[in-house]
Chain A
Amino acid sequence: MIQHLPILQVIIPLLAAPICFILREAKLVRWFVLLANIMAFVVSIMLLQQVNVHGTLVYTLGGWEAPIGIEYRIDELNAYLLILVTSISTVTLMAAGSSLNKEMKESKQTYFYIAYMLCLTGLLGILATGDAFNVFVFLEISSLASYTMIAMGNDRRSLWASYQYLIMGTIGATFILIGIGLMYMMTGTLNMHDLAERLVEVEQTKTVFTAFAFFLVGVCLKLALFPLHLWLPNAYAYAPSIATVFLAATATKVAIYILLRFIFSVYGFEFSFSHLPLTEILVSLGLVGIIAASIVAIYQTNVKRLFAYSSVSQIGYMILGLGIGNKTGLTATLLHLFNHALMKSAIFLALAGVVYRIGNVNIKNFAGLGRQMPWTMAAIVIGGLSLIGVPLTVGFVSKWYLVLALLENGWWPIAVLVLVGSLLAIAYIWRIVEVAYFKAPLQNNQSHKEAPPAILIPAWIFVIANFYFGIDTSFTAGLSERTAELLFGVVK
């Protein structure tokens, strides 16, 4: 049993999806999906324990050894992210029942849960696999499922958002496919471990550079790096609330994982940062993303879209940390992966509560909500404080490491710009605080009650996690540092 954990991680949600078809009844499906998620979560915890004890786990599918068969390779980096994805998806599902009942007909809910499970399968598959082509296949599984989830939103604009995401996402995935094809052409292998060994021999060829370029652009489309982010705001704004929570917290993080894995474990630090101007590209795009997306966020009237733009700017921070190219910077990126997922899931779950009571998230309707829905609004404000990077919240920890990394290289002007990004975050959070706490409720919005506990409790689990991991950083920071060392260690 124990040695099959890596495949169980992916197989459990994959098998759960068709079983949902058999169960049919949305009420049954809801509990079943939650159960499958809890199992996946338990498996991910056991995986991390195994990795801590035995080091990197290698699992050969069907007993076929690596160059012929596909292998799953779990080290600290993916064990860490597997826990992140499964825990967030489990807690999100606790709120799914009541939120979906409000936003979607019961007959459609079963299909939503199926898409949710397939999306989870894809994300976990990307994290677990050690095969480059497998990454593409799982990426498409998760993407197709997320297009479906987004299109199930109430507003007709969700269809258009989903279509745009489909076009851009497919272009991104096809770029990744081209990149993998060119790598295969030069090395004759798809196994990441073998690729890393054989790419060294051919790393000065134009084909390998082209492969890297295609791959980089494709992944950056998927993770919504600044000029390639255009699909994200509408997709997050009009998707069903639960889909927004799940995608905002996990999908882009997994795309960043692909980037890290290929930059460090496959191509190697030497190739990525010394032979190519990766630092210049990533740092400048990350910075422009932080500033531009934050400014756009300030002017949004749809609060979900406001936080979607904020996501784009937070991705800028992660890319910036990666671009710095030192160990502290990478630690900051890994920390921010985890921390940003906590903040955004708290905020978007609280927004799901607002949608539950009010029906939309137009900032106008937030007037007076501070008094009518104190717990919901408090969750949004605390999530916001964490986005800004106030001490005691997780946002502070990752920004602290990011600034440290910048100062390590002596790049203080960039550190100043990072702090300017925080100031801009204060501006967009303040807009919500002002409307919610300092304005009288609108005429037709006099009597809103607190969001139901089914949504509020999961949201507060994330809020408490925001504080807990902001104060006790031993788990996240310790693991991030070890992972960063591991990734840099591969170079030696």
Chain B
Amino acid sequence: MNFLEQYNYWIVILLMMSGFYIVIAHGNLVKKLMGLTIFQTSVFILYISISKVIGGTAPILDDQYEVYTNPLPHVLILTAIVVGVATTALGLALAVRIKEAYGTVEEDVIQEKDLQQEGSTE
């Protein structure tokens, strides 16, 4: 069945959309970052799926095998994982600083406090 044959892409789409939804729908800054991580992870799986060659083995030269999985997307995604880790770390560090400065990590409370601050400086 065509639908199940490409289940890996369905997983990618499911993860992508749930991550994206969490980023948009949740007001908690840490939860948002977790959503962002899930969103990025889905793209990693997309790249890994692309590289899979049916019947291929690990890309190590050997006389017995002729078909190899494409190693390039794996390497690319290693880079993207590092970037993702750096982004999450920076985001969490910002969340800590925001907690220190505002006393909360809830989006709506922060925006309310910002509005008050702008009102008082006018």
> Do residues B83 and A140 form an inter-chain contact, with CB atoms below 8 A?
yes
Which residues of chain A (136-176) have a CB below 8 Å from chain B? Answer: 136-137, 140, 144, 147-148, 151, 156-157, 159-160, 162-163, 166-167, 170-171, 173-174
Whether B50 lies near A181 (C-beta < 8 A) is yes
Q: Does A419 contact B (CB under 8 A)?
A: no
Is there contact, CB below 8 Å, between B46 and A178? yes
Inter-subunit contact A159/B87 (CB<8 Å): no
Name the CB-closest residue of B to A364.
B122
Complex Cα distance, B23 from A235, in Å, reads 19
Which residue of chain B has the shortest Cβ distance to A185 in the bound complex? Answer: B50
Residue of B20, B83, B122 with most chain A CB atoms under a 10 A cut-off: B83
| Contact between chains at A174 and B43 (CB < 8 Å) | yes
Cα A301 to Cα B23 with chains together (Å): 30
Contact A163 B43, beta carbon cutoff 8 Å: no
Is A362 interfacial (CB-CB < 8 Å)? yes
Bound-complex Cα distance A140 to B90 (A) = 12
Contact string against A for B residues 82-122, beta-carbon threshold 8 Å, 1 for contact and 0 otherwise: 01001100110011011001100000001000100100011
Q: Is the CB of B29 within 8 A of A163?
A: yes
Does A225 belong to the interface (CB within 8 Å)? no
Q: B102 to chain A: which residues have CB within 8 Å?
A: 156, 160
Chain B residues within 8 Å of chain A by Cβ, number: 32
> Looking across the interface, which residue of chain B has its beta carbon closest to that of A156?
B101
Which residues in B have their C-beta under 8 angstroms from that of A181? 43, 46-47, 50, 73
B40 at the interface (CB under 8 A from A): yes
Say how far B102's CB is from chain A's closest CB, in angstroms: 7
Cβ–Cβ < 8 Å partners of A167 in chain B: 23, 32-33, 36, 91
Chain B CB within 8 A of A271 CB: no
The reply on B17 being an interface residue by CB < 8 A is: no
As a 0/1 sequence over residues 16 to 28 of chain B, the CB contacts with chain A under 8 angstroms (1 = contact) are 0000100100000
Residues from chain A with a CB closer than 8 A to the CB of B83 are 137, 140, 144, 173
Q: Is the CB of A159 within 8 A of B98?
A: yes
Please tell me if A133 contacts chain B, counting CB pairs below 8 Å: yes
Q: Is A459 an interface residue (CB 8 A)?
A: no
Q: Is the CB of B110 within 8 A of A160?
A: yes
Q: Is the CB of B23 within 8 A of A166?
A: no
Which of B33, B47, B90, B91 is packed against the most chain A CB atoms within 10 Å? Answer: B90
Q: Is the CB of B98 within 8 A of A163?
A: yes
Chain B 65-87 per-residue mask, 1 if CB under 8 angstroms from chain A, else 0: 00000000100100110010011
> Considering only CB atoms, which chain A residue lies closest to B88 in the complex?
A170
A232 within 8 A of B: no
A160–B114 touching, CB < 8 Å: yes
Does any Cβ of B come within 8 Å of A32's Cβ? no
A171 to B23, CA, bound (A): 9
Contact B122 A301 (CB under 8 A): yes
Distance in Å: Cβ of B119 to nearest Cβ of chain A: 11
Residues in chain A near residue B114, CB distance under 8 A = 157, 160
Per-residue contact bits, chain B 29-58, to A (CB 8 Å; 1 contact, 0 not) = 100110010011001001100100000000
Q: Write out the residue numbers on chain B whose beta carbons fall within 8 Å of the beta carbon of A171.
A: 20, 23, 36, 39
Q: Across the interface, do B73 and A184 meet the contact criterion of CB distance under 8 Å?
A: yes
Question: Are A170 and B76 in contact (CB-based, < 8 A)?
Answer: no
- Pair B43/A170 contact, Cβ less than 8 Å: no
> What are the residues of chain A within 8 A of B23 when measuring CB–CB?
167, 171
Q: A258 in the interface, Cβ–Cβ < 8 Å?
A: no
CB-based contact A160/B87 at 8 Å: no
Do residues B39 and A174 form an inter-chain contact, with CB atoms below 8 A?
yes
- Whether a CB of chain B sits under 8 angstroms from the CB of A433 is no
A184 with B87: CB separation less than 8 A: no
- CB A156 to nearest CB in B, in angstroms, measures 4
Q: Which residues of A contact B110 (CB under 8 A)?
A: 160
A439 to chain B minimum Cβ distance, whole angstroms, is 16
How distant is the Cα of A140 from the Cα of B91 in the complex, in angstroms? Answer: 14
Interchain CA distance A174-B76 in the complex, whole Å? 13
Task: Name the CB-closest residue of A to B121.
Answer: A362
The distance in angstroms between the C-alpha atoms of A159 and B79, with both chains bound, is 27
Docked complex Cα distance between A463 and B82 (Å): 42
Interface residue A177 (Cβ < 8 Å from any Cβ of B): yes
- 10 contacts across the A-B interface (CB closer than 8 A): A137-B83, A148-B90, A156-B98, A159-B94, A162-B94, A163-B29, A166-B94, A171-B23, A171-B39, A174-B40
10 further contact pairs, Cβ within 8 A, besides A166-B91, A167-B32: A140-B83, A147-B94, A156-B98, A159-B97, A160-B102, A163-B94, A167-B91, A174-B39, A177-B80, A364-B122
The 4 closest A-B pairs by CB, nearest first: A156-B101, A140-B83, A163-B94, A185-B50
Binding site for A on B (CB under 8 A): 20, 23, 29, 32-33, 36, 39-40, 43, 46-47, 50, 73, 76, 79-80, 83, 86-87, 90-91, 94-95, 97-98, 101-102, 110, 114, 117, 121-122
